[in-house]
Amino acid sequence: MENTWKPTAAGVCAIIGGVIEVITGLVFVSFGSAFVPFGFGFMGVFGAIGAPFIILGIIAIVGGIYALKRRIWWLALLGSILALPVGFGILALIFVIMGKGEFK
C-alpha cells in the first residue's frame, strides 16, 4: 500500500495541538501557584485547570507520534481527539480517519 500524506499531516497537527495544550497548562499552573502565597487562594484553581491540559497535551503528542509512525490507529485517533480544544485536532481527526487504511 502506498503511503500518503494524511497520517503525516495528522501527526504533525496532533503534536502541535498537544504542545500548545502543554504550554497552556504550564502557564495556568505557574500563575495559579504564584498567587497562592500572597493570599489569593482562589487563584489556586488555575492549577486545577492547568493539570488536565498538561495530561491531555501529553497524550495528544503521543498520539501524534504514533500517527507519524502509522501504528496503533486508535491511539492516533485518541491523540487527535484530545488536540481538539486547541483547534489543530479537527484537522488531525479528519486526516487520521481518512488515512485509517495505512495504519498497522
Give CA–CA dist 23/58, Å, rounded: 11
Please report whether residue 1 resides in a domain.
Answer: no
Give CA–CA dist 50/10, Å, rounded: 25
Q: How confident is the model at residue 33, as a pLDDT?
A: 61
Query: Domain range holding 91?
Result: 6-102
Q: How confident is the model at residue 35, as a pLDDT?
A: 58
Give CA–CA dist 104/102, Å, rounded: 7
Percentage of residues in the chain having pLDDT higher than 70: 85
Please report whether residue 12 resides in a domain.
Answer: yes
- What would the mean pLDDT of 42-47 be, rounded to a whole number? 64
**Considering the entire predicted model, what is its pTM?**
0.86
Three-state secondary structure string covering 23-59: HHHHHHHHHHHHHHHHCCHHHHHHHHHHHHHHHHHHH
Higher-confidence residue: 87 or 45? 87
Please report whether residue 86 resides in a domain.
Answer: yes
Model confidence pLDDT, tens digit, residues 6-43: 999 999 999 999 999 999 998 888 876 665 565 555 55
Q: How confident is the model at residue 23, as a pLDDT?
A: 95
Residue 2: left if φ>0, alpha if ψ -120 to 50, beta else—which one? beta
Count up the domains in the chain and report the number: 1
**Residue 98: which H helix or E strand, with range?**
helix 88-98
Q: How confident is the model at residue 30, as a pLDDT?
A: 80
